[in-house]
Amino acid sequence: MNYFVTAIGTNSGKTLISTILVEALQADYYKPIQSGTEDLDYETVEEYSNNNYCIVYPSQFILKTPVSPHHAAKLDHIEIRVSDILWPDTPNTLVIEGAGGILVPINEKGEFIADLIQSIDCEVILVIDIYLGCINHSLLTINELKRRNIKVKGIVFNGDSIPETENIILQESGYRCLLKVNREPVINQEVIKQYAITLMANFYND
């Protein structure tokens, strides 16, 4: 099974959660579209995972400007279509990281990250970072996932825990919590490994 890591918005912790998944599942990693070249997410996954079995694939499209992919691609004088995406040919589990949330546009032709998700057989891992307003953003995202009949493995909460916020999101979505990640002062391979162990204890416990 492939797993697509998406979130309720940008800067939600998708790369951190993807690294934990790669470590937990001994999986390969691929982020097909990267906007901005200052910090390449696939290099972050390579740095913090300690997995001798996985392959971290470079992004197919590395766009210069850290804005929405449709805008960044336009600035680079290219157009990206879902049908352009080349998926790694691997027998291993593949962890795929999206860009921003599910309704981030890929182009001006009406294709979104959600369409990219639907183009490959996968289950979604939804990352929800905790902040004022995240309930609304979470439930809007969840409604769209359900409207499109996209399979969801579960939710990962990222940030300082607020049980009332987490509980209402889980209650209204019907999804389960796979992991809670704190705001760690330092991220290193040992921190990733400890979260990977916790994730595996919950991952297949449907």
Rounded CA gap, 33 and 113, in Å? Answer: 10
What's the angle, vertex CA 182, arms to CA 36 and CA 58, rounded to 5? 30
Rounded CA gap, 3 and 30, in Å? Answer: 10
Determine which one of 31, 64, 109, 180 is catalytic. Answer: 31
Q: Where are the strands (E) in the chain, listed by range?
A: 2-7, 28-30, 33-35, 56-57, 61-63, 94-101, 122-129, 152-158, 177-181
Q: Are strands 33-35 and 94-101 parallel, antiparallel or unpaired?
A: unpaired
Rounded CA gap, 193 and 109, in Å? Answer: 41
Is 14 known to be catalytic? no
For helices 14-25 and 41-48, angle between their N-to-C axes, nearest 10 degrees = 40
Pick the closest to residue 45 from 187, 173, 144 (CA basis): 187
> Are 35 and 72 spatial neighbours (Cβ–Cβ below 8 Å)?
yes
Residues recognised as catalytic: 31
